[in-house]
Chains A and B, each alone.
Chain A
Amino acid sequence: MTSKKKDLLSIAVYIFICFTLMFVFGPLIYTAEEGADFGAYQILYLLAAFSPCIACLVTRLLFREGFKGQLYPKFSGNFKAYFLAVVIPLVFGILNCVLITISTGAGFSFKLEGGIFTALGNNMVMSVYAYYAMIIIIGEELGWRGFLYDKLEKSFGLNGAVVIGGIIWGLWHIPPIVHAGLNFGKDYPGFPYAGIVLMCVMCIGFGAFLQLIRKMSGSVIAPIIAHGLIDSVSNSLATMFLSEEMILDMAGGKKFIVGICITVTAVIVGIPCWVVLNKRPPHPSPAATASPQGVKATTAEPSP
């Protein structure tokens, strides 16, 4: 079997395992009532959330690719990548805040009881929650950035990897979009198809940013940090100027507007990252250079 065929087969196996786990276990947890309390909830949730990681591990074992260089932090000499992994999610959160505040007509003043201190306190609390989010995000990043994007890049080129990877990543979110109204709620025209399309666009934007810092650092730790911050601090920054009633309203009927704002911001942040990603000299990532049994290839393969 040629190298390209093998890569395509490994991508297919990865997607099959990943989507099977998510589409089997996802609906079970997302259709459960809020605050559901049953014994198997946690294990089902972890199986769904860690499905990219499980798929990556199984595929690597099946194709004897080894795991070298996946979770090794590589801090030395990569300060820029880790700096961006922290700063860009904050920029994303602030941009989101501006868009949401303008689109809801809230006005730029702190409306929470306690004013600026409460808003600051909320953001600080979410920065601690980021540590917890990062642990869950390991399950996603090890699969998406640590496996899929590298494989796609080898088969479809850099731009192909960002677009196709983003679409696959977006489609993986279908169960929470359909059953739990993830990011866009359930009350919008074209539910759930519009939400799925917007999610794919959002994932293309985020995918470009996360793949950029993955390549800059040569490790999936940087995307894990960035993704964890996006899921925690960015969300709390986005609602900084809103009153509690408005935040509750955002969780309900107006969620679609918030979802669109997040998508637009993801594209705004993603495009420059994509441009930079294209300008970067080709730097083989560990997964791209790993030959069978995890031994690094010594010679580059000729392009077809």
Chain B
Amino acid sequence: MSGFILKDLYIMRKRIILNIVFLLTTMILLDILAGLLKNMVPKEDINVISAGLAIMVSIGTFMGLYSLECDILFTDERRKWNAYSAASEAGVRAVVGAKYTLCFIISFLGYLICRFNDIVLSLILDRTVQLSMFYLGLVFSVTLLMAVQLSFGLRFGAKYGTNLRLALFIGIFVLGSIYAMFGDVDWLMGEGGVRDNMRYLLEHLDDAGVKNYIAKLSGGAAAVLSLIPHAIVGMYWLSYRSSCRAYTKGAENYDK
């Protein structure tokens, strides 16, 4: 399997290097900005600024890496390669497994970049900046997106898969908008609803804040909320298994 991972990395090497250089440059610029702001803003606002900068870097990082993960599907979309790799000693499981493993490695790399940024920000601002739980949330979000993207991409071809994913997101957005306009949104926008909870979380995004937030939830709500990451891991596994089955069928949809 490691051979397939290395192959994908080799094909995508230029994009990976470009992405990482771009991310590091943005990170350094934002950290310099943090250093400048440190002496300009009141001490009580430093917390908000450090969290804001860390969030900006992390969202940028994960968006960049997500686009990179989407490109993994395009690296070897040829019928001949599909047939050859499926017939190789490693088999379909190794080929598909390599794609899923590489996606996870890239997401984990995103987590490490964000944690590195936390350390640099901490040193610049001389206070602990640690949003690791938030970054883990981003890792799980990207994992969920990739579980959908990879299974569709490998079954229907990368192009068709991307379009299908786009249609799915637009569909969810349209349905959500219709519900927001005509449905009951008290649980969302009302007092103590999702909006209030989101606001509280945004104001207390550091690890201690997230822990306090969870501690405030009732036992049932905390249990349900805690199930989400495990469900995502399960979905990623199921997506892998279904992709293994659909891999050879998916080749029928390739252009070449």
Contacts and interface: CB of A to CB of B under 8 A. Distances in A.
B42 interface: no
B128 A117 contact: no
Contact of A121 (B111, B119, B217, B229): B217
Interface in B84-143: 93, 101, 111, 118-119, 122-128, 130, 132-133, 136
B230 A37 contact: no
Interface residues of A, number: 28
A39 B230 contact: no
**A interface secondary structure, majority:** helix
Interface stretch (A124-132, A161-169, A189-197): A124-132
A118 B101 CA distance: 36
B111 A135 contact: yes
Contacts of A73: 101
A39 B133 contact: no
Interface string B210-240: 0000100111111100110110000000000
A37 B128 contact: yes
Interface in A123-164: 124-125, 127-128, 131-132, 135
Given A131-B136, A132-B132, A39 B127 contact: yes
Nearest to A112: B219
B2 interface: yes
Contact of A122 (B101, B125, B222, B230): B222
Given A76-B93, A117-B220, A121-B221, A39 B226 contact: no
B119 A43 contact: yes
The 3 closest A-B pairs by CB, nearest first: A117-B219, A121-B219, A121-B222
Interface of B: 2, 93, 101, 111, 118-119, 122-128, 130, 132-133, 136, 214, 217-223, 226-227, 229-230
Interface of A: 36-43, 46, 72-73, 76, 114-122, 124-125, 127-128, 131-132, 135
